[in-house]
Structure 1
Amino acid sequence: MASQLEGAMETLINVFHHYSGKEGDKYKLSKKELKELLQSELGCFLETQKDTGAVEKIMQDLDENGDGEVDFQEYVVLVAALTVACNTFFWENA
């Protein structure tokens, strides 16, 4: 039986690959795929964003190599940053 952390890691991997490869490189997220992932998996987060260009800004921030796509490593950076932000929010408001 997998530990909670192993299960969380498996979920991160599966979510990425569920959305990647629908168009273009199957190991990367296009802007359209990233937007779909964010809307489906982090809809509450996006709803709180007042900036209509939030997805575009996220894409630009994540796409470190400038290829117009988000690879798995860049995706993990997003998840880690959001997790840190959520941790801070929940611990400060507990």
Structure 2
Amino acid sequence: MPSQMENTMETMMSTFHRFEGDKGYIIKEELKVLMEKEFSGFLENQKDPLAVEKIMKDLDQCQGSKVDFQSFFSLIAGFNITCNDYFVVHMK
């Protein structure tokens, strides 16, 4: 039986591949939809209402309008770091 971490890894991979549609990358518009569907709680709790647009702009400067799995994973890692930082400061 897979561990919780293995299930998490599988979920991240399958989510990316569901949106990329065999292209090997997600375009800006697909990533915006993915974020709004998969990170709605995270985004709702942002103090900045333009958080998604800023993330897209940062990605656009680095990658053009394409986000590959490595960049997607880095984005997820950044979200995890942000959430952990908040937890360490406010929840303990």
Match of 2:4 in 1: 4
- Give the whole-Å Cα distance in 1 for the aligned partners of 2:76 and 2:85: 14
- Which one-letter code corresponds to 1:12 in the other structure? M
Identical-residue share of aligned pairs (%): 44
Which stretches in structure 2 are left out of the alignment for 5+ residues?
A: none
Contact 1:59/1:70, CA 8 A, preserved across alignment: no
Name whichever structure is richer in helix by fraction: 2
Q: TM-score, normalised by structure 1?
A: 0.80
What is the RMSD of the two structures over their aligned residues, measured on CA atoms? Answer: 1.9
Pick aligned residue for 2:44 from 40, 44, 47: 47
- What does the per-residue CA deviation read over 1:20-65, in whole Å, with 9 as the maximum and x for residues that have no partner? 12xxx6211111110110000001222344343x334312323575
| Structure ranking higher on relative contact order (CA contacts 8 Å, 6+ apart) | 2
In the TM superposition, structure 1's runs of 4+ consecutive aligned residues that sit over 4 Å from their partners are none
Q: TM-score, normalised by structure 2?
A: 0.81
Please list, as runs of the form range in 1=range in 2, the aligned pairs for 1:26-41 lying within 5 A after superposition: 26-41=23-38
For 1:27, what is the secondary structure of its paired residue?
coil
Which stretches in structure 1 are left out of the alignment for 5+ residues?
A: none
- Give the whole-Å Cα distance in 1 for the aligned partners of 2:6 and 2:41: 25
Decide which moves more: 80-89 or 54-63: 54-63
Pick aligned residue for 1:90 from 74, 87, 90: 87
Pick aligned residue for 2:78 from 77, 81, 89: 81
Pair 1:83–1:90, CA change in 2 (3 A): same
- What is the total number of aligned residue pairs between the two structures? 90
